[in-house]
């Protein structure tokens, strides 16, 4: 089969470092900074961390190396990759291609919210964002401003994608990722020196077994699995696309390990920023951490308001979030652009313009869903929540499940192994990959798919 496979695309990453930084940029996003810390705090701190780490090196590793191997071996984006392995899997091409089309627009809408906060802090007006949340609800409830910030974020993303893989994505990742790491470490060091921060660190890192039952353990594992998926940019076509741009002589196994270390490291550090800070300024009230989505846009501004140097830390923090969101939105948009280029045989510019138009239309639905059309609901949800729900809770687990069936049972794990061995002598995780793809990952996917319904009941 290998002889029939195409080599990696002519347009691609120029170096292994470029590939790893771009893929890590995709993985490190809003999920790490906003979602991970509050999930960890909610699900028993250290226990969540431990389960997450175990899942990252087993389940996450297997799915990520599989997706990158599929991309590199077929040289295609998701719209052609799966069916070129087995023609019966053509529907999977379409399903996987639909995921980034749904996610990119609303991700850019949230990116716009982050830009608004960054501008507010940089202009020295961070105090206006503090309070009971009126600033946030007032902002997203006014159609004009969120639309403008969404547009700016979208155009910035598109500008990078338009420049291409090596000149745009690789170059910007090599600049943005080191800045992102420096900001994360710098802010974490600062918040850890705050008086009383150690109680927050203990709450975040030490396992809390109080009232911990088997049912709770299952719930924690399901939450960790869902987060892993989200965080590692799996089942949304990104890793297949980036894999198709990867050089044939760079080690797949080593690259995946490095991406994982990056992604998990930034998530854990983000928790070290947020949990102790919120803990200190809420007077040790753990409930403040359960603010969910409001944590970043409502709780944190209050924390910065009360903090010495809050203006600088607030600006640095929202710059960090904006960079993380931008490198992720770039990867999402590149995935859509590569699908359009491949499917319709058009040039990058035409594909970018088409993608922009799709994003504008779907993104405006999310923007207006909080303002003029707040009365309109899709299965009881606002547009943005609906897009998030069908992509993350339904389509992505199904894509991952079908990928496991395709590679675990139809093409066999050998398919991945052969691609790994193109660039290294030995594949140490061979047995792990096989067990994961055949048995563990499919069961995990079914658990993720069923959890929302079971918890409803
Ligand atoms: N992995 C990125 C993050 O953690 O934010 C990107 C991403 C995840 C985008 C999930 C969209 C999504 F639904």
Distance (angstroms) between ligand 1 centre and the Cα of 231 equals 6
436: its two tokens: 């994961």
Q: Is the distance from CB of 288 to CB of 275 less than 8 angstroms? A: no
pLDDT at 150 over 80: yes
pLDDT at 218 over 90: no
CA pseudo-torsion sign 55, 291, 455, 92: negative
363: its two tokens: 């993104």
Mutate to test the pocket of ligand 1, among 30, 96, 389 (most ligand atoms within 8 A of CB): 30
Residues enclosing ligand 1, CB less than 6 A? 27, 29-32, 103, 107, 230-231, 233, 328, 391-392
CA pseudo-torsion sign 370, 373, 379, 380: positive
Nearest atom within ligand 1 for CA of residue 27: 1
pLDDT at 154 over 50: yes
Distance (angstroms) between ligand 1 centre and the Cα of 31 equals 6
pLDDT in tens, 162-203: 999 999 999 999 999 999 999 999 999 999 998 889 988 998
Mutate to test the pocket of ligand 1, among 233, 259, 363 (most ligand atoms within 8 A of CB): 233
Which of 37-51, 72-86, 135-149 comes out lowest in average pLDDT? 37-51
Give every CB contact of residue 151 below 8 A, 6+ residues apart in sequence: 112, 360
Cα gap 383→19, rounded to integer Å? 34
Distance (angstroms) between ligand 1 centre and the Cα of 329 equals 8
Cα gap 347→352, rounded to integer Å? 9
Mutate to test the pocket of ligand 1, among 236, 387, 394 (most ligand atoms within 8 A of CB): 236
Amino acid 427: pLDDT: 96
CA distances from 52 to 3, 222, 442 (A): 38, 10, 18
Which of 233-247, 265-279, 313-327 comes out lowest in average pLDDT? 265-279
Nearest atom within ligand 1 for CA of residue 233: 1
Q: Is pLDDT larger for residue 305 or for residue 5?
A: 305
SS3 of the chain: the string is CHHHCCCCCCCCCCCHHHHHHHHHHHHCCHHHHHHHHHHHHHCCEHHHHHHHHHHHHHHHHHHHHHHHHHHHHHCCCHHHHHHHHCHHHHHHHHHHHHHHHHHHHHHHHHHHHHHHHHHHHHCCCHHHHCCCCHHHHHHHHCCHHHHHHHHHHHHHHHHHHHCCHHHHHHHHHHHHHHHHHHHHHHHHHHHHCCCCHHHHHHHHHCECCCCCCHHHHHHHHHHHHHHHHHHCCCCCCHHHHHHHCCCCCCCHHHHHHHHHHHHHHHHHHHHHHHHHHHHHHCCCCHHHHHHCCHHHHHHHHHHHHHCCCHHHHHHHHHHHHHHHHHHHHHHHHHHHHHHHHHHHCCCHHHHHHHHHHHHHHHHHHHHHCCCCCCCCCECCECHHHHHHHHHHHHHHHHHHHHHHHHHHHHCCCHHHHHHHCCCCCCCCCHHHHHHHHHHHHHHHHHHHHHHHHHHHC
Distance (angstroms) between ligand 1 centre and the Cα of 413 equals 26
Nearest CA to ligand 1 atom 8: 230
Cα gap 101→238, rounded to integer Å? 11
Of the pLDDT bands very low, low, confident and very high (cuts 50, 70, 90), residue 213 is confident
Distance (angstroms) between ligand 1 centre and the Cα of 64 equals 14
Distance (angstroms) between ligand 1 centre and the Cα of 233 equals 6
Of 268, 290, 267, 269, give the one whose Cα is nearest residue 278: 290
CA pseudo-torsion sign 68, 73, 76, 81: negative
Distance (angstroms) between ligand 1 centre and the Cα of 228 equals 10
Nearest atom within ligand 1 for CA of residue 325: 5
Give every CB contact of residue 206 below 8 A, 6+ residues apart in sequence: 45, 46
Nearest atom within ligand 1 for CA of residue 35: 4
pLDDT in tens, 2-58: 434 444 465 799 999 999 999 999 999 999 998 998 888 888 788 999 999 999 999
Topology given in CATH for the domain delimited by 2-456: Hydantoin permease (1.10.4160)
Amino acid 219: pLDDT: 85
344: its two tokens: 């319709």
Nearest CA to ligand 1 atom 11: 103
Distance (angstroms) between ligand 1 centre and the Cα of 246 equals 21
203: its two tokens: 């709450």
Residue 74 C-alpha from the chain's centroid = 24
Q: What is the mean pLDDT of residues 292-313?
A: 88
Distance (angstroms) between ligand 1 centre and the Cα of 232 equals 7
Cα gap 361→333, rounded to integer Å? 15
């Amino acid at each position: 089969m290998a002889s029939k496979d195409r080599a990696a695309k002519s347009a691609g990453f120029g170096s292994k470092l470029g590939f790893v930084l771009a893929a890590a940029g995709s993985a490190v996003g809003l999920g790490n900074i906003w979602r991970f810390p509050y999930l960890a705090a909610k699900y028993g701190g250290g226990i969540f961390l431990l389960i997450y780490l175990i899942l990252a090196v087993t389940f996450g590793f297997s799915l990520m190396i599989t997706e990158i191997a599929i991309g590199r071996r077929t040289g295609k984006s998701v719209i052609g990759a799966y069916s070129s392995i087995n023609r019966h899997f053509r529907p999977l091409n379409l399903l996987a291609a639909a995921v980034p089309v749904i996610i990119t627009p609303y991700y850019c809408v949230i990116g716009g919210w982050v830009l608004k906060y960054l501008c507010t802090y940089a202009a020295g007006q961070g105090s206006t964002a503090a309070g009971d949340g009126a600033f946030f609800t007032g902002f997203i409830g006014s159609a004009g401003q969120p639309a403008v910030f969404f547009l700016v974020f979208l155009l910035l993303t598109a500008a990078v994608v338009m420049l291409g893989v090596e000149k745009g994505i690789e170059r910007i990742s090599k600049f943005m990722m080191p800045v992102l790491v420096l900001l994360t470490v710098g802010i974490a060091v600062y918040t850890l020196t705050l008086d009383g921060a150690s109680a927050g660190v203990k709450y975040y890192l030490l396992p809390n077994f109080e009232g911990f039952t088997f049912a709770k353990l299952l719930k924690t594992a399901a939450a960790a699995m869902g987060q892993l998926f989200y965080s590692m940019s799996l089942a949304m076509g990104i890793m297949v696309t980036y894999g198709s741009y990867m050089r044939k002589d760079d080690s797949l196994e080593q690259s995946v390990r490095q991406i994982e270390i990056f992604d998990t490291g930034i998530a854990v550090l983000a928790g070290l920023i947020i949990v102790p800070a919120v803990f200190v300024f809420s007077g040790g009230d753990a409930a403040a951490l359960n603010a969910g989505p409001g944590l970043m846009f409502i709780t944190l501004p209050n924390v910065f308001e009360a903090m010495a140097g809050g203006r600088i830390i607030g600006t640095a923090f929202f710059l960090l979030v904006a960079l993380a969101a931008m490198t992720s939105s770039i990867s999402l948009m590149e995935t859509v652009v590569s699908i359009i280029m491949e499917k319709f045989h058009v040039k990058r510019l035409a594909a970018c313009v088409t993608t922009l138009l799709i994003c504008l239309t779907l993104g405006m639905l999310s923007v207006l869903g909080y303002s003029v059309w707040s009365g309109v609901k899709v299965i009881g949800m606002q547009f943005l929540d609906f897009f998030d729900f069908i992509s993350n809770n339904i389509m992505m687990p199904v894509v991952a499940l079908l990928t496991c069936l395709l590679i675990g049972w139809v093409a066999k794990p050998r398919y991945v192994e052969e691609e790994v061995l193109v660039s290294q002598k030995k594949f140490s995780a061979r047995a792990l990959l096989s067990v994961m793809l055949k048995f563990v990952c499919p069961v995990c996917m079914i658990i993720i798919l069923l959890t929302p319904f079971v918890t409803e009941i």
